[in-house]
Every structure is written in structure tokens, then in C-alpha cells.
Amino acid sequence: MQYEAFIGKEYAPFTFEVEKGRLRMFAKATGLADPIYSDEAAAKAAGYRSLPAPPTFAYTITMDAGQSFNVLEDMGVSLPKAVHGGQRFVYHAPICAGDVITGRQKVTNIYDKKGGALVFIETEIPLRNQLGEAVCDLYSTVVVRNG
């Protein structure tokens, strides 16, 4: 398989500042009506430092930081041949408005199925806040169709 040399490759670290407006927009777009996602007083009353990031917002962080396609581009994969095969999140602490999140993507595994017709690329991106606390680990799988 031509992609195995990429297993273990790490990409440059990235930084993302979490903004209140972006969190409110994401919560509204995903149908979250709980006031903790739009009202800072409600968020603080619930024990958050500020507005908390809704579930799956961590993936938006990685997309905005340009991490979605860098692996595929690096491998020379044509985007029309790739599909998002899976996403998993492991949360450690809340991500809140005002946080500065850093992360670094790593290719953790690449394997094929169906005699090489399908190639699975697995990556992980651990995210930390400005205090150095682990906030979320993202695990993604992209499936590439060959032939």
C-alpha cells in the first residue's frame, strides 16, 4: 500500500480562539435551545467560565484550523475519492468562549480492505486549552476509494 509511510506523521500545531458569536451560531444551527449556549449568565449559573462549546464543536475547531484536508493533500488523494468514514470525541473538560485551543494532528493508522479497493486513514487530534488542560481528543476516519 502506498500510504503506509504516513503512519505516525504529525502535522504542525495549530491554535484557535473560541468566540461567543461562533458558539451561539453553532448551537442555533444544531438546534440546541438550552440557554447555557446563548446566555452567559445562564452558562455561569450552570458552572461554566463562559458559554460552553456544544457537542461536536471541537470538529469545527479542527476544520477552521485547516486540518480537514491536509492529510489527504499530503498523500495526493483526490478529494472526490474520499469520504468521511467516522468521528469520535473523548471529552476531558469543557471548551468555553474565550479559550485558546491548541492541537496537533497525527496519522495513527492506515489500512486497506477489499484487496486495496478501500483505504482507511485514521487520525487523532488532542486539544488543549490555554491552561494546558486536555479538553478533547478527536479521532477521525477517512475512507478513500481506489480504482
pLDDT, mean of residues 52-72 = 92
Question: How confident is the model at residue 6, as a pLDDT?
Answer: 94
10 occurs within a structural domain: yes
Please name which of 50, 125, 64 lies closest in space to residue 89, comparing C-alpha atoms. Answer: 125
Res 113 pLDDT > 80: yes
Which region, left, alpha or beta, applies to residue 130 given φ > 0 means left and ψ of -120 to 50 means alpha? alpha
CATH number at residue 113: 3.10.129.10
Domain count, the chain: 1
pLDDT for res 49: 95
pTM comes to 0.90
pLDDT of the residue at 4: 84
Is pLDDT at 1 greater than 70 in this prediction? Answer: no
Q: What is the extent of the structural domain holding 96?
A: 4-19+52-145
The answer to whether position 116 is within a domain reads yes
- What pLDDT, in 10s, does the model give residues 7-49? 999 999 999 999 999 999 999 999 999 999 999 999 999 999 9
Whether residue 35 lies inside any domain: the answer is: no
pLDDT of res. 128: 98
Contacts of 120-129 with C-beta under 8 Å, sequence gap 24+, read: 120/85, 120/144, 121/3, 121/6, 121/71, 121/72, 121/75, 123/71, 125/62, 125/67, 127/58, 127/61, 127/95, 127/101, 127/102, 127/103, 128/101, 128/102, 128/103, 129/93, 129/95, 129/99, 129/100, 129/101
39, three cell numbers: 446566555
Is 92 contained in some domain? Answer: yes
Q: What percent of the chain has pLDDT over 90?
A: 88
Residue 33 lies in a domain: no
